[in-house]
Chain A
Amino acid sequence: MSEAMEKRVLVDLDRCIECGSCAAACYYSHANMPAVSFARAGWALLPMICRQCKAAACVDACPAEAMVRDEFGVVRRGLLRCIGCGSCARACPFGVIPNELGGTPVGCRSPEGLTGHQVAKCDLCEDRTASNPDAVPRCVAACPSGALQFADERAAEELHLQVVGGRSTADHLFKRR
């Protein structure tokens, strides 16, 4: 397994300025199928990015075996197999598989929509990170405030970072200061 794939996208919520750079970079580089969406918590918008679970509920829930864990350990969606049923989106305990964007199903927007409707899924920008250990996913590279980092999950606590997804949300997240 590539060393890069041991890493995960981590977010520092105390740096996220809700600019949408991560979502836009993901959208434009993944054939308009954004794997980064935003969740609203009170006044704040939070970027929601797949945490690549070791026991991935989306893989178990997929009836078409479109969700698979590949040789790099990344949970991917097979383009030709996905039927857009949304089972993975509903099974995800962290709600990070976006089924719609701005109220419109994202699958319908895909120019590569061979099956007509697909679900967007973060692949950690494997086209970059699998071959280059120093490369980072596009959402991380685009983040202007430094809120997103591509680091080993075990380092999250040391970095005082939260793993994206699975995080309880509450009002006034930024009132900690």
Chain B
Amino acid sequence: MLGSQQLVKAGSCCTLCPAGCELRQVKVGPDSWRIEPAETGSAGLCPRGSTLGELLAHRKRIFWPAKRQEGRLRQVGMDAALAALIEAAGDRGIIVFFDANLPCEQLARADACCRAWRGARLCLVMEPADRQMLLGAEASGADYLADDALADCDGFVVIGDAFAANPRCSRAVFERRAREPRTPIVAIDAACGTAAKFATHVVQVGAGMEFQALAAVAAAAGVDVELPGVPAAGDLASAQAAGRAVAQCERLGVLLAAEYGRSAAWRQIGYLAGRLATARGGGLACQTVGANVLAALRCSANFETINLADALADTSSVRVAVGCDVVGMLGGAGGEFLAAAAALPNQTTAAAEIVLPLALPVEVGGTVLFSGMQEAEVEPVVAPPAGVPTPAELIGRMAPAAGPSPPGSPSAVCLERLAAEVPGDAASSGPAAAPVLLFARQAAHAGSGALTGHGSWQQAARGPLDLRVSAADAEAMGVSNLAPARVAAEGRSVPVRIRVCQELADGIVVLPGGMPEARALAPCRIDSATRQVVASPVTAAIET
């Protein structure tokens, strides 16, 4: 599909992040499997990948369609469930929220079905911050770097907690540092995540100010940014020191992870990061939630899809979610769903009237674009259980049930780089009053943790949620290390344990674990000016 690049037979590999770790399947019972790392070597397999084997035969796996009656889900047949869906939709339009992190063939088939399905519109769902970041990266024209290629870089800028988003990308950084100990590693992360611990230069950045910090680093590195709305470098000493280090690099690797609830400026950050990397002879490594979201973004240019913000703003149509936990991803802001198809229960299935079974990502094979530049044909680990459809098969059954003409051949997939527009001014919501609540990523979970949260290790190893607080803030609040407390925002609260963190900036508190509950403290909203879904930093209250 790329034309100039070879299609790689990748075997079975994890598609929950761009690393694409090999999955070695071990059958341990008649209907149970486990996923193991390779026997020799050290290819890596993070907790998300290790969990996938257990999920294949998880005790909560959804095998049968169910319809909510008197508040309880009752098992029905697939035909009855689809008939109930079509009947409930009536003459209203239908918006299909479809998981964007699926192989290209699944996306193309879904588009073809929705085109033939009268009144249906397709929305490819990916993390809103990831989408903005990728649009900016595409517009920048920067090269994309796979994990292995990062080892050839002689300097790194890490934005957000890229090491938690894709643990394997850290290996290349460390390999380079082992060869050349003076390799600059610049961390721009207001929550002081994993990468900040290994950085030679930590840019002191306020909540939601990553764009300004990156602009200051780029300016100090002598890069002509040419982007409207870029602030002056100012007197951010840490950024200037980082910029001087970056200026010495001949091949700069910029690792990007768009963190939830940080900023509305991820598009500008993606663009600026790409310009900075290109100016220093390097490239971008975008650590997205899901390996194939960039391909989905490129495909959507040729598909008839609608924006997530427009889909959420349309309250007259009924909503059907296929493979994605829209409600959990948006912090509970997804609204009502008529039907939700998923392999395991999530917040969207909990809100839906009709629940449908669906294949797991590891049960679906097809073409995946890893790291924005490596097109690979991924094989499923196992076939889906009998009666459990793949996402495209499910849409293929829904559409004829509505009575249209059968869909034609799948839509053409084009993975050529998008001709995205240069982003405009960065929307600024202004700094929130202290303390500002930020969210950090967990390497154990993909996205909001809807899928991997079912893993027994994830549940067993999970202790109380730690709320990281700076020493000065802890003293001002009158809380001590390990003290129990509650953190509240937007009318909701969760119990936490205070963890005093010397490295954290004053005025910022960080909730590093428990993304499924945590996102509810800062739900997404639709930005009326840009028509984008954003989650901005919120003011938190600490109750002891």
Chain A residues within CB distance 8 Å of chain B:
14-15, 17-21, 23-25, 27-29, 32, 34, 43-44, 101-104, 106, 109, 128, 132, 134-136, 138, 140-146, 148-149, 171-172, 174, 177
Is the beta-carbon distance between A19 and B444 smaller than 8 angstroms? yes
The reply to whether A134 and B40 contact each other, CB–CB distance below 8 Å, is: yes
Q: Indicate if the CB atoms of A34 and B45 lie closer than 8 Å.
A: no
Q: A25 and B54: CB pair below 8 A?
A: no
List, in ascending order, chain B residues with CB within 8 A of A21's CB: 44-47, 50, 167, 443
Determine which of B19, B40, B50, B455 lies in contact with A142 in the assembled complex, contact meaning CB atoms within 8 Å. Answer: B50
Contact call B197/A102, Cβ cutoff below 8 A: no
The number of residues on chain B lying at the interface, defined by a beta carbon within 8 Å of a beta carbon of chain A, is 47
Residues of B within 8 A of A20 (CB): 46-47, 443-444, 457, 461
Q: Which of B169-177, B415-423, B520-528, B531-539 contacts A (4 or more CB under 8 A)?
A: B169-177
Query: Which chain B residue lies CB-closest to A173?
Result: B197
Chain B, residue nearest A150 (CB)? B42
Complex: A144 Cα to B194 Cα, angstroms: 14
> Whole-angstrom distance from the CB of A96 to the nearest CB of chain B?
16
Known interface pairs A24-B50, A43-B502, A135-B39; A15-B174 also in contact (CB < 8 Å): yes
The answer to whether A102 and B460 touch (CB under 8 A), given A146-B175, A174-B197, is yes
Q: Give the chain B neighbours of A25 by CB distance below 8 A.
A: 36-37, 45, 50
Q: 30 A–B contact pairs at CB < 8 A?
A: A19-B47, A19-B167, A19-B194, A20-B46, A20-B47, A20-B444, A21-B46, A21-B50, A21-B167, A21-B443, A23-B47, A24-B46, A27-B50, A27-B456, A28-B53, A28-B457, A32-B460, A34-B457, A43-B501, A43-B503, A44-B197, A101-B460, A140-B42, A141-B41, A141-B45, A142-B44, A142-B46, A144-B45, A144-B171, A172-B502
The chain B residue sitting closest to A43, CB to CB, is B501
Does B463 interact with chain A (Cβ within 8 Å)? yes
Interface residues as binary, B47-69 with A (CB distance below 8 Å gives 1, 0 otherwise): 10011011000000000000000
Hey, which chain B residues are within 8 Å of A174, CB to CB? 197-198
User: How far is A106 from B457 in the complex, measured between Cα atoms in Å?
Assistant: 11
Tell me if B115 counts as interface (CB < 8 A to partner A): no
Instruction: Say yes or no: A136 contacts B41, CB within 8 Å.
Output: yes
Residues of B within 8 A of A17 (CB): 163-164, 167, 170, 194, 198, 443
Which of A14, A27, A132 touches B198 (beta carbons < 8 Å)?
A14
> Do the beta carbons of B44 and A143 come within 8 Å of each other?
yes
Contact A132 B39 (CB under 8 A): yes
A133 to chain B: closest residue by CB: B40
In the complex, the answer to whether B463 meets A102 with C-beta atoms within 8 Å is yes
Q: Report A88 CB to chain B, min CB distance, Å.
A: 21
